[in-house]
Structure 1
């Protein structure tokens, strides 16, 4: 499948790039997408949540009132969960949320996500460009020329480009990543996917293994 290559002004350069049907034109596997996105979101959790339980509270261990004759319930420790400042019952503990996922399933999920973007006409291929210095205004002008300034967008680079990355950091709705950093979640989270011409070969190489 051939896609027109645009310049940074959004105009057709007259050239076309061939996108592999095995990467950008497969039948999407929704379950693979679900599993990959689920793993990605799980890995965003630090798992450092913790509350002190009764044994970890600093406090006196003396019996705070006599056993009988008060007309109220028995109470043996100020660290009891029923008192303010006491330990928490079955509180959260540190946990590892990482999940294992087969490499082939992850590869299938990314190909499915790319195929969905291609099918929905939400994929653009732009010729490689760079800025002399990091400048948010210049990057915003490129998005405006491509007609995606008001859309959540993901720009995929062939190689690391510090000026482009720094220029995009102040724009909340846009993200710049290298083709090796591409994930199913990031592809689906963006309304528009912009591939630099040099990124196409890298993506197809990574996903056709």
Structure 2
């Protein structure tokens, strides 16, 4: 697969050939769905918790004698039916993460890249750099390229000026290539890869 390479200024910078085994697969929605579910589950904190009857700081003594009062049989006041008692079947701290084989995760990333390439949502730029570090300048360059909702992936390290300039642009996420993931690719309309990012991805999937 061959794509045109552009600069941030919108000028042509030649062409690049992408490997079909990374960018040319027939996307499978089931694999992408499993990966998104895996990522969202892994992001959940799982720290929500309520106090059960055994966690309540009240006396554990029986409220009153079992027989002879004419009232219902009760034990401690920490039971859920009493005000100030514990919560019945409340949430507890736990890990929400689900398992997904490493090979499936790697395959899902290739399918996500292929999805963007097939749908025309993939743009290759020669370099991600903003020497002046001005948000206004970079925002105009991205707008001229039609990038109002995009994920931008750089090389192993992001150029400091570009990272700072892009930090406050709405609906534009910027990540180094090590941080690329299926969920962020799919949640943005356009995927922007630098030439360094393309080389790193193709080397990763050799």
Aligned 1:13-162 pairs, distance under 5 A: 13=13, 15-65=14-64, 67=66, 72-149=71-148, 152-161=149-158, 162=160
1:83-114 C-alpha deviation (Å, 9 max, x unpaired): 22210112212212223322221121111111
Name the counterpart of 1:12: 12
Further displaced range: 116-125 or 168-177: 168-177
Contact 1:29/1:108, CA 8 A, preserved across alignment: no
1:145-184, aligned counterparts within 5 Å? 145-149=144-148, 152-161=149-158, 162-184=160-182
Q: Distance in 1 between matches of 2:109 and 2:144?
A: 28
Between the aligned partners of 2:58 and 2:144, the Cα distance in structure 1 is 65
Distance 1:17 1:86, change over 3 A: same
Contact 2:38–2:100 (8 Å) recurs in 1: yes
In 2, the alpha carbon distance for the partners of 1:58 and 1:109 equals: 49
Q: Is contact 2:131–2:162 with CA below 8 Å preserved after alignment?
A: no
User: 2:199 is matched with which residue?
Assistant: 201
Size of the aligned set, in residue pairs, is 205
Unaligned runs of 5+ residues in structure 2 are none
The structural deviation recorded for 1:191 is: 0.5
Distance 1:62 1:125 in 2: 71
Q: Deviations over 1:51-91 (max 9, x none)?
A: 11101101133444565676653333221101222101122
User: What root-mean-square deviation, in Å, do the aligned CA atoms of Structure 1 and Structure 2 show?
Assistant: 1.9
User: CA 1:9 to 1:87, structure 2 compared with 1: closer, same or farther past 3 Å?
Assistant: same
Deviation, structure 1 residue 27: 1.2
Q: Partners in 2 of 1:199 and 1:11 — Cα distance?
A: 19
Unaligned runs of 5+ in 1: none
Distance 1:142 1:69, change over 3 A: farther
| TM-score, scaled to structure 1 | 0.88
SS across alignment from 1:38: helix
Give the drift of 1:21: 1.0
Task: Give the 3-state SS of the residue equivalent to 2:54 in structure 1.
Answer: helix
Aligned CA distance change for structure 1 residues 198 and 88 (closer, same or farther; 3 Å): same
* Distance in 2 (alpha carbons) for counterparts of 1:72 and 1:124: 75
The residue that corresponds to 1:185 in the other structure is 183
